[in-house]
């Protein structure tokens, strides 16, 4: 894949981030969270571990890991971007969604090349 320069400092407790999950076969998933990245990664790991079709654990990442027989320990992740508070105020969630859409497009993580099943331009409107 393409090298990505990470231009910020983040820890497991950092919140307001856009992140990348990578599986052993090289497919990626871009997500965003306003909570700590540690909390969000635990949720992804829980969905993979407890995957059951048709339930709340039936996410694209969990489905892929289980159907491809990947091991949970093979899940890799990194923070792509830390979203700083907007100087003029504004909607942080909307801005995170915009940055998530940017990274989905930049890293080409939409299915079938990646694990994102959709992306929306709604966060750019109004």
Report the top-level CATH class of 17-118. alpha beta
The mean pLDDT value for 83-87 works out to 81
Contact 59, 38 (CB under 8 A): no
pTM for this one?
A: 0.90
pLDDT in tens, 2-26: 666 767 789 999 999 999 999 999 9
pLDDT in tens, 41-76: 999 999 999 999 999 999 999 999 999 999 999 999
Contact 78, 6 (CB under 8 A): yes
């Amino acid at each position: 894949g393409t090298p990505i320069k990470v231009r910020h400092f983040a820890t497991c407790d950092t919140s307001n981030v856009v992140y990348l999950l990578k599986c052993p076969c090289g497919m990626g998933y871009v997500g965003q969270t306003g909570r700590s990245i540690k909390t969000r990664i635990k949720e992804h790991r829980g969905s993979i571990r407890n995957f059951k079709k048709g339930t709340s654990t039936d996410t694209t990442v969990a489905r892929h890991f289980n159907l491809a027989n990947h091991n949970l320990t093979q899940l890799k992740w990194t923070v792509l971007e830390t979203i700083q508070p907007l100087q003029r105020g504004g909607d942080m969630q909307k801005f995170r969604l915009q940055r998530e859409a940017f990274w989905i497009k930049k890293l080409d993580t939409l299915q079938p090349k990646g694990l994102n099943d959709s992306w929306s331009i709604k966060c750019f409107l109004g």
